[in-house]
Structure 1
């Protein structure tokens, strides 16, 4: 039973990692924005994904009354955004993270979920080293 739970967790983490990488690749040419009110805050939330960066911040109340989603192609003639290259930043009312960070973290969490705690075999060590090497290579490539 625990083996099935471990493998399910690893598969979910791998899917999340691949999804973040696909979103990172797509965000180089398209800007995604979602606006809307959330129940835990009186201020609406704005989530933006653009050029490999995920940004979330609160916007003044009254401008957005319901959730909406917009996407449009990026114009290569425009200057890059204020956060380029993508980096981790926390500012007043929001935060911004590069999309490779959640991808690497979910991949690492999936690798930890696969490794058995009680008996550590050579196969487990090779799988773990392969996943860590792939994650480090992904970070270097991005």
Structure 2
């Protein structure tokens, strides 16, 4: 989906390495649920007003005039999210409490793969659908898993 979008829109070639980040960001702030075109335009407009909004995201949004196309890209791109959580006794903690990475997948739904690590290594691993998961839900999940002994 992302690769095809970049090929279709040559005007964003310079920012092609940031398109997946753009998609992931907008999926995340909308709890991994679909946008209507109007909802996306409203959210995007609010973000564009913020002087600290990512420069590359701003460029992508400015270069792609067809917001319906951007909305479709976000809604139809499925992600595989890798969430590694580190308990307080892990060597990476307190500097890193978690690491979250994502990649595009052909799966039918965006999934979060959670792995919890302590000083003894991997202590828990599971997957869950991301749809409907808010930032607060993610924060609660991380806090809960970090307290596992």
Q: What is the TM-score when the length of structure 1 is the normalising length?
A: 0.27
> Which protein is richer in helix relative to its size?
2
Tell which structure's C-alpha radius of gyration is larger.
1
